[in-house]
Structure 1
Amino acid sequence: MKRLLRLAPFALLLPTLASASIVWRGDFETGNLSQWDREQSVASDRLQVVSSPVREGRYAMKVTVRKGDDPINASGNRNEVLSLKREAAGSEFFYKWSTLFPSSFPSSPKWALFTQWHHDGNGGSPPLEFYVVNNKLTLRLGGSSGKIVWTAPMQREHWNDFVLHVKWSPDPKAGFVELYHDGQVVVPKTMVATQYAGQGNYLKLGLYRDESISPDGIVFHDGFVQATRLEDVMSTAVATPEPGPAPNPDTGAPGQSAPQDEPSTGPIAQLPSDPGDSSLPGPGGIVPGDSSLGAGMVPPTAGCGASATGGTPLLVAAALTLAALLGRRKALAPARARRPRSSRR
């Protein structure tokens, strides 16, 4: 009985762990960029943790791209943060984040990516990318020969709230996407390949644009969360942030927060992409790879968090420990029963 009582905390812990849904947070609430695995930027002022504007909590990331910014010696200009977990084929997740384009964001007929899940390969367009072209927000799947499944007018000085539901698979009969924009379904569940065969995907958040765009580009990102349940990323209201001291981009000191914008929705457009249009990301100028992130690199070990089925490494360890202890207790019971009474203590 005493042993069972000692195991009680494990039993209470197991249901809690099994129901865990949040896999990872990249919401900048640490006051710095430490939640992310890597930065690709040319200077410390290009990726800054700021306190105004913010969509939720106390911090957001301000991204600045200037003509000539090329931190990885590739095509285009960029400054981005990376998460290198590489989702496995067959896994299914919900991703939530918010993006704001300020009034100064340049209008251009050329492409400017702000969120992408890039493949392990070192060339070509990613299998899933969000970008702006001609003042339109765009989601394209399948690279330069893929399909644009959503567009909407870009509103400046407005927080775009995205929830992306993805099943990762190179099989168009198994993979799918579903997109919410500002709380509304704008792309219903659509069966489509979301990975290239034999390659994993990693996340890049920031700003990456055609190198011919001259004006400085600024974009803000906030609240990135990865989860296994819709209810953990789709809230009916966004909490109003509490004021705090201003952050230092280098040290991550706290900062002041800003008021929220009211959400609005945009129309759905399902259009075939045109690989020959140089204004779109594609062979005409986008080669968004990084040889140091190729398929031969061993993926980093994922941190604690729910898997695609809601499990965790800690959950497995606790379950195994509980099973082992209970099994040992059962094995000892018959042995004790066979021992002579005089030898028992």
Structure 2
Amino acid sequence: MKSISFILFAAMTLMMATPGSSCRKPGRHLPDSLRCQPCSSPFTKIPLKAKQLSTTAAEDPGNVLAHLIDGQFSTRWSGLGDPQSIVIRLDSVTEIGEVKIAFHTSGHDARTSSFEVAVSRDSAHWATVVPVRNSEPGVTVFQSFPFDRTCARYIRITGHGNSVSDWNSYTELEVWGCVPDIVELHCNYETGDWTQWTNGLICRSVDTQFVAVTDTVREGRYAGRFMVRPGDKFRKRDSTLTSGERVEATLWNYARETENDDYYYGWSTLFPTDWTEPQRYGIIMQWHSHFDVPPPLAFDARANILRVNYNTGDCTNYWPPEHEDFDTILHNLNKGKWNDFIVHVKFKPDNTGIVEVWHRVEGHAAFNKIYSRPNMATLQWTSNIRRVELEYAIPYTRNGVNGWTSGLYVQHGLYRGDGGTNTNVLYHDNWSRGRSYNAVRNTFSQ
């Protein structure tokens, strides 16, 4: 009788060697750790962290692996030698079907890079999905390399140098596949401070404007208390002050929202009974771009209403953008009670995006859908490169016109206009980002 180990080896080898093998019905002999969960979602970009990347190449000072996922085509990873490999380790065995790579050309339009792609479930048995080929010359943005859907946890990109030298240099890297219905970001202040937010707090004084509290909490043990007073302006590194008065928790070094991303967000906000109208605007949640115009999407609290503000679409002219308007989604802030929100955004720089909002008030079990705006731009686009920071500019063609969009970063707290005489305090808790409504809904305990 053949040993169980031999049967497992044979089963894995057969599945890895068969192009396009389905992951929906895993082989009965595979252990759970090597099985692929059924994919109920469209393929999308799989979020990656620097710790998931490794390479056989010696480190090239300044051109490190983390640059492959920093959202900037102006930085790169470089490794000398033929061959040299990059290995991506996903969180679990996942159905995948595409790799996107942006190649560094060092300014040479004719320069091409030689590479191949292989995948594995266990990092021991590999199957080639993209045979050795060359990149397209003169292209410095993403090039797409699709392959038959397959299940893998490891993706290996092996470089064979370029048409000029043995250097392998890539500026950005993406893996596309099935992202399970999970929450991938969860900032709930359960550390007892603000450190779950990777870029910290943007404010005048951390010590006086923010505290993790235990007496006003929606989930777990802690929530964040945010306070903005007259003159609470953030001083930048060059000693200049930003516009507005604020205290905002910020995510920076993470898989940012970009074109075609489809995310759900959840959080809870409590406006105290003595809440008064912020000066000009009171932004409690915003998705901020790298354009020199206001954020494309923001939630704005007034005296007793909540609005969704848009500054989206074509921003070639500084003002106004193509879509500069707002919708009121709450006509009562339910002061003194927690408001729970689930927000769905499909990110598009043209009019194919969508924003949806579900809401409930403390004491109620069910979320109610209170807002839907389909066919709406949710990113910014410009044909004028001066509108966008160069290192974050992402080429995008709209209606036959070449231009740029950018990724977004999240800011959550309170940001209001200059000149107010009142002090505003509010509480936030249980912020999350996930790939489905159910994933985010499950972060709420009731």
- For 1:204 and 1:108, the matched residues in 2 are separated by 18
Out of 46, 52, 66, which is 2:215 matched to? 52
- For 2:376 and 2:417, the matched residues in 1 are separated by 27
Is the counterpart of residue 74 in structure 1 residue 242 in structure 2? yes
Is the counterpart of residue 33 in structure 1 residue 210 in structure 2? no
How far residue 125 of structure 1 moved from its aligned partner, in angstroms, is 1.7
Secondary structure in 2 matching 1:231: helix
How far residue 95 of structure 1 moved from its aligned partner, in angstroms, is 0.2
Is the counterpart of residue 21 in structure 1 residue 182 in structure 2? yes
- For 1:83 and 1:58, the matched residues in 2 are separated by 22
Q: Does the 8 Å contact 1:71/1:78 carry over to 2?
A: yes
1:223 corresponds in structure 2 to 430
RMSD (Å) for aligned C-alpha atoms: 2.3
Alignment deviations for residues 115-165 of structure 1 (CA, whole Å, 9 cap, x no partner): 1111112x3321101112242111122266522123322221121111110
Secondary structure in 2 matching 1:45: helix
Secondary structure in 1 matching 2:249: strand
- For 2:35 and 2:220, the matched residues in 1 are separated by 28
- For 1:51 and 1:224, the matched residues in 2 are separated by 16
Amino acid at match of 1:151: I
For 1:209-248, what aligned pairs fall within 5 Å after superposition? 209-235=416-442, 238-239=445-446
Out of 345, 368, 371, which is 1:184 matched to? 368
Secondary structure in 2 matching 1:2: helix
Secondary structure in 2 matching 1:142: strand
For the structure 1 residues 87 and 142, does the alpha-carbon distance in structure 2 shift closer, same or farther, using more than 3 Å as the test?
A: same
Is the counterpart of residue 166 in structure 1 residue 345 in structure 2? yes
Amino acid at match of 2:248: E
User: What are structure 2's unaligned runs of at least 5 residues?
Assistant: 13-29, 38-91, 95-179, 236-240, 313-319, 361-366, 382-404
Alignment deviations for residues 284-327 of structure 1 (CA, whole Å, 9 cap, x no partner): xxxxxxxxxxxxxxxxxxxxxxxxxxxxxxxxxxxxxxxxxxxx
2:363 corresponds in structure 1 to none
User: What are structure 1's unaligned runs of at least 5 residues?
Assistant: 240-345
Is the counterpart of residue 103 in structure 1 residue 287 in structure 2? no
- For 1:131 and 1:216, the matched residues in 2 are separated by 17
- For 1:204 and 1:95, the matched residues in 2 are separated by 13
How far residue 76 of structure 1 moved from its aligned partner, in angstroms, is 1.0
How far residue 88 of structure 1 moved from its aligned partner, in angstroms, is 1.7
Instruction: Please list every run of at least 4 consecutive aligned residues from structure 1 whose deviation after the TM superposition is greater than 6 angstroms.
Output: none
How far residue 170 of structure 1 moved from its aligned partner, in angstroms, is 0.4
Is the counterpart of residue 148 in structure 1 residue 151 in structure 2? no
- For 2:281 and 2:328, the matched residues in 1 are separated by 15
Tell me the number of residue pairs that the alignment of Structure 1 and Structure 2 aligns: 237
2:143 corresponds in structure 1 to none
1:291 corresponds in structure 2 to none
TM-score relative to the length of structure 1: 0.63
Q: Does the 8 Å contact 1:150/1:186 carry over to 2?
A: no
For 1:1-345, what aligned pairs fall within 5 Å after superposition? 1-2=4-5, 5=8, 8-9=30-31, 11-12=33-34, 14-15=36-37, 18=94, 19-38=180-199, 39-43=201-205, 44-72=207-235, 73-84=241-252, 85=254, 86-108=256-278, 110-121=280-291, 123-142=292-311, 145-152=323-330, 153-172=332-351, 174-182=352-360, 183-197=367-381, 198-235=405-442, 238-239=445-446
Higher mean displacement: 12-21 or 103-112: 12-21
Secondary structure in 1 matching 2:438: helix
Q: 1 or 2 for the larger relative contact order (CA 8 Å, sep ≥6)?
A: 1
For the structure 1 residues 32 and 14, does the alpha-carbon distance in structure 2 shift closer, same or farther, using more than 3 Å as the test?
A: farther
Amino acid at match of 1:83: L
How far residue 226 of structure 1 moved from its aligned partner, in angstroms, is 0.6
The structure with the greater share of residues assigned to strand is 2
Give percent identity, aligned residues only: 28
- For 1:58 and 1:117, the matched residues in 2 are separated by 27
